[in-house]
Amino acid sequence: MKKVIYPKVGGPESIQIVEHTLDDLASNQVKVRVHRAGINFADLMMRQGLYGSNPNFPFTPGYEVSGEVMEYGEHVNWIKKGQRVIAMTGFGGYSEEVIVDAKRIVPIPDSISYDQAAAMPVTYGTAYHMLIHLGGLKPGDSVLIHHAAGGVGTAAAQICQAFGAGLIIGTASKPKKEFVESLGMYFVDKDQDDFVEVCKNLTEGKGVHQAIDPVAGKHLMRSYNALRNGGKLHCFGASSAVPNERRSMIAAFNMWRNTPKFNPMDMMTSNKSVFGVHMGRMDDEAIFENHLSDLGKLMEQGKIKPIIDSVWRFDEVAEAQRYIHNRKNKGKVLLDFSPNKD
Ligand SMILES: NC(=O)c1ccc[n+]([C@@H]2O[C@H](COP(=O)([O-])OP(=O)(O)OC[C@H]3O[C@@H](n4cnc5c(N)ncnc54)[C@H](OP(=O)(O)O)[C@@H]3O)[C@@H](O)[C@H]2O)c1
Segments of the chain assigned to CATH 3.90.180.10? 2-120+306-336
Distance 44 CA to ligand 1 centre (A): 10
DSSP string for 194-261: -HHHHHHHTTTTS-EEEEEESS-THHHHHHHHTEEEEEEEEE---GGG--SSS--HHHHHHHHHHS--
Strand 186-189 to 273-276 pairing:
unpaired
Q: For atom 35 of ligand 1, which residue has the closest CA?
A: 327
Distance 213 CA to ligand 1 centre (A): 10
Does the beta carbon of 155 lie inside 6 Å of ligand 1? no
Beta-ladder partners of 252:
none
Q: How far is CA 110 from CA 5, 12, 259, 272, in A?
A: 32, 35, 44, 43
* Buried b or exposed e, range 82-104, using 16+ CB within 10 angstroms: ebbbbbbbebbbbbbbbbbbbeb
Yes or no: say if 334 and 34 are a contact pair by the CB < 8 Å rule: no
End-to-end alpha carbon distance in the chain: 18
Which tens digit of pLDDT belongs to each residue from 4-36?
A: 999 999 999 999 999 999 999 999 999 999 999
d(CA 279, CA 42): 11
Half-sphere exposure of 201 (CA within 13 A, CB side): 9
Residue 86: enclosing H or E segment and its boundaries? strand 84-88
Does the beta carbon of 278 lie inside 6 Å of ligand 1? yes
Q: Confidence class of residue 174 from pLDDT cuts 50, 70 and 90?
A: very high
pLDDT (0 to 100) of residue 341: 66
2-120+306-336 belongs to CATH 2.130.10.10: no
Does the beta carbon of 151 lie inside 6 Å of ligand 1? yes
d(CA 139, CA 137): 7
Which tens digit of pLDDT belongs to each residue from 39-91?
A: 999 999 999 999 988 899 999 999 999 999 999 999 999 899 999 999 999 99
0.85 cut: is pTM over it?
A: yes
Q: What average pLDDT score do residues 224-253 get? A: 97
Nearest ligand 1 atom, CA 172: 40
Alpha-carbon dihedral 198, 200, 201, 203, rounded to 10 degrees: 120
The CATH number that domain 124-281 falls under is 3.40.50.720
Residue 162: pLDDT over 80: yes
Report the chain's mean pLDDT, rounded to a whole number: 96
Non-local CB neighbours of 101 within 8 Å, separated by 6+ positions:
28, 29, 30
Q: For atom 18 of ligand 1, which residue has the closest CA?
A: 150
Which tens digit of pLDDT belongs to each residue from 249-304?
A: 999 999 999 999 999 999 999 999 999 999 999 989 899 999 999 999 999 899 99
